[in-house]
């Protein structure tokens, strides 16, 4: 393939994802291989009791990552992207973006990381008999009602970050069905918001004195491959103020990072699943049948084509681990050694494999923020060890790596042990799996399920979004998303698989038992800092 000609012909497809720490754009070729990328680093802020990102940074980051993509394209191929065949936007799921009639943001973006909607989540879960997590958009709306927040008098529209950026690019007020399932529950027979739950939600708000309706404020639902609009002139300028990128390309239904992770790991079929492990961690398992009950720890969402998925989402994964790596880096620099970060990470991760299966009675809590599954309102990372602990580098590192998975395991114990859900394999992706064979083995031991990592695992969400955009323009009539991914993208590849190690499974069980018992310490830790 002449890639310069391919780009100049406007045949390229781009996926852009607003992740927790990076906004990244990926360009793929006709065989779905990533050929160029660009990114922008950002970080959430804790301001006035809310985890947020400033609105101006949405656009600054979008433009910066696309400019970096253009720079990469020009460096490699001596040309620039002027037109595209398709484009897709994804972002961290859930959260709350509220607008007035002029589409002015009424309050700062409330991200998935917030644990400030407990009252609303509990009320809605009881009213629906369906688990509503604190981070879901509907919980944020209802909590604002319960708080009688002043901005509600001007409320006109509510969306997620992916949905809002999609709107700015297309003027279409819609989201993909997987993203919609993080706004409010989906009815898998109608492939739309559950109307009975909408009626209950509207009635609750009316009883509280508010007359807005769910279908009036929330974006419409679009299936994977469906019509979600085209890039407008205004949208093209928002991405690329230089004027090089031209409008007109197809824009795919936007998806959350959960949906793009499923696409990027080819885990949209029944009895498959994936685990995305980075700043947060979540598992997604595509179900054969409905669960027998609803559980606070398990969210029912969908694949990008509407199949039911059991999701266990944890706010905390690698942030505390990364903080410890920075401490080791500082120590080395004080000794006159300037470490290469990839080497430092790999050295520390591999040391963990030398640790005892139960971490030698060294216990770590990685909660840099609150964690709804374990009812921890405010995070306080800490390490606890017994007097008899074997406290050395391997056990400390193994404990830090275990901690990143421990809450995920507690949630999945319900799914795998109580509901007896069958999973043939899980696909791992994200920074936790970057050191070959380490995070992958520990996850297999934690959940007692084979774990595969594909060669494309590092491409992550923006690549997955590009695949969903390709599905819009390259699928055959009646071709399903699972068949498209299997036959046209992955060509039967299943990646490298690791089975659970019996000693590792036993060790992680012991660690998780101690971890659960010690959660009372984590809940009380905040009192050390709060007057």
* pLDDT mean over 30-44: 95
Kindly report the average pLDDT of the chain as a whole number: 94
The reported pTM is 0.83
Burial of 271: CB neighbours in 10 Å, binned 0-12, 13-18, 19+: middle
Question: DSSP 3-state assignment of 327?
Answer: helix
Q: What is the mean pLDDT of residues 44-69?
A: 96
Q: Where in the chain is the domain with CATH 3.30.420.40?
A: 94-159+184-217, 266-315+421-496
Model pLDDT, residue 156:
98
Contacts (Cβ under 8 Å, ≥6 apart) of 135: 93, 94, 95, 111, 112, 113, 114, 115, 117, 182, 313, 315, 372
How does pLDDT run across 139-160, given as a tens digit for each residue? 999 999 999 999 999 999 999 9
Note the CATH architecture for domain 266-315+421-496: 2-Layer Sandwich (3.30)
pLDDT higher at 1 or 362? 362
What is the β-pairing status of strands 362-365 and 382-385?
A: antiparallel
Q: Is 220 helix (H, G, I), strand (E, B) or coil?
A: strand
- Return the CATH fold of 94-159+184-217: Nucleotidyltransferase; domain 5 (3.30.420)
Mean pLDDT within 170-183: 97
CA-based max dimension of the chain: 68
The structure tokens 């600054």 sit at: 60
How high is the pLDDT of residue 454? 83
- pLDDT the model gives residue 459: 67
Mean pLDDT in residue range 22-45: 96
pLDDT at 531 over 60: no
Task: State residue 115's pLDDT score.
Answer: 85
What tokens were used for 201? 């939600």
Alpha helices in 240-368, H assignment, sequence order: 257-264, 319-334, 341-352
- What integer pLDDT is reported at residue 229 of this predicted model? 98
Mean pLDDT of the 332-346 span: 96
Sign of CA dihedral 508, 509, 510, 512: positive
**Tens digits of residue pLDDT in 384-414:** 999 999 999 999 999 999 999 999 999 999 9
Per-residue pLDDT, 457: 60
Cα(405)–Cα(444) distance, integer angstroms: 11
Question: In percent, how much of the chain has pLDDT > 70?
Answer: 99
Strand bridging mode 425-429 / 451-453? parallel
Q: Compute the average pLDDT of residues 259-272.
A: 90
Is 299 or 86 the better-scoring residue by pLDDT? 86
Both structure tokens of 477: 């009539």
pLDDT higher than 90, residue 494 = no
Residue 524, Cβ density class (10 Å: 0-12 exposed, 13-18 middle, ≥19 buried): exposed
């Amino acid at each position: 393939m002449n890639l310069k000609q391919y780009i100049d012909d406007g045949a390229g497809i781009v996926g852009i994802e607003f992740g927790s720490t990076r906004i990244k754009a990926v360009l793929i070729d006709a065989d779905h291989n990533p050929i160029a990328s660009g990114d922008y680093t950002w970080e959430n802020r804790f301001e006035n009791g809310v985890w947020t990102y400033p609105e101006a940074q949405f656009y600054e980051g979008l433009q910066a990552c696309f400019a970096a993509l253009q720079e990469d394209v020009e460096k490699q191929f001596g040309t620039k992207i002027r037109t595209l065949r398709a484009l897709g936007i994804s972002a961290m799921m859930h959260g709350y973006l509220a607008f007035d009639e002029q589409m002015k943001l009424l309050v700062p973006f409330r991200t998935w990381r917030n644990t400030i909607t407990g009252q609303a989540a509990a009320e809605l879960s009881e009213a629906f008999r369906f688990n509503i997590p604190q981070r879901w958009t509907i919980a944020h709306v209802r909590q604002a009602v319960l708080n009688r927040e002043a901005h509600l008098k001007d409320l006109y529209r509510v969306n997620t970050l992916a949905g809002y950026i999609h709107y700015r690019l297309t003027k279409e007020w819609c989201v993909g069905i997987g993203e919609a399932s993080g706004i409010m529950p989906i009815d898998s027979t109608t492939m739309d918001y559950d109307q009975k739950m909408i009626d209950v939600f509207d009635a609750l708000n009316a009883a509280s004195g508010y007359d807005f309706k769910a279908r009036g404020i929330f974006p419409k639902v679009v299936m994977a491959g469906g019509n979600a609009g085209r890039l407008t002139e205004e949208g093209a300028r928002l991405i690329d103020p230089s004027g090089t990128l031209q409008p007109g390309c197809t824009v795919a239904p936007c998806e959350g990072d959960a949906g793009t992770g499923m696409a990027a790991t080819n885990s949209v079929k029944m009895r498959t699943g994936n685990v995305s492990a980075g700043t947060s961690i979540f598992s997604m398992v595509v179900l054969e049948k409905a669960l027998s009950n609803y559980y606070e720890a398990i969210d029912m969402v969908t694949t990008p084509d509407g199949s039911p998925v059991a999701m266990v989402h944890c706010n905390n994964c690698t942030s505390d681990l990364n903080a410890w790596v920075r401490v080791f880096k500082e120590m080395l620099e004080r000794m006159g050694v300037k470490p290469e970060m990839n080497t430092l990470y790999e050295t520390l991760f591999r040391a963990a494999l030398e640790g005892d299966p139960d971490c030698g009675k060294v216990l770590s809590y990685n909660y840099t923020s609150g964690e709804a599954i374990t009812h921890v309102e405010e995070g306080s990372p800490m390490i606890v060890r017994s007097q008899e602990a074997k406290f050395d580098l391997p056990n400390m590192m193994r404990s830090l790596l275990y901690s990143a998975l421990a809450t995920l395991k507690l949630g999945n114990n319900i799914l795998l042990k109580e509901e007896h859900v069958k999973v043939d394999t899980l696909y791992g992706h994200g920074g936790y799996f970057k050191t070959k064979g380490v995070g992958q083995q520990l996850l297999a031991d934690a959940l007692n399920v084979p774990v595969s990592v594909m060669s494309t695992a590092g491409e992550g969400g923006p690549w997955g979004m590009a695949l969903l955009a390709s599905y819009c323009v390259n699928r055959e009539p009646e071709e399903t998303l699972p068949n498209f991914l299997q036959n046209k993208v992955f060509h039967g590849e299943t990646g490298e698989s690791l089975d659970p190690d019996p000693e590792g499974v036993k060790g992680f069980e012991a660690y998780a038992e101690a971890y659960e018992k010690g959660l009372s310490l984590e809940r009380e830790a905040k009192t050390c800092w709060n007057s």
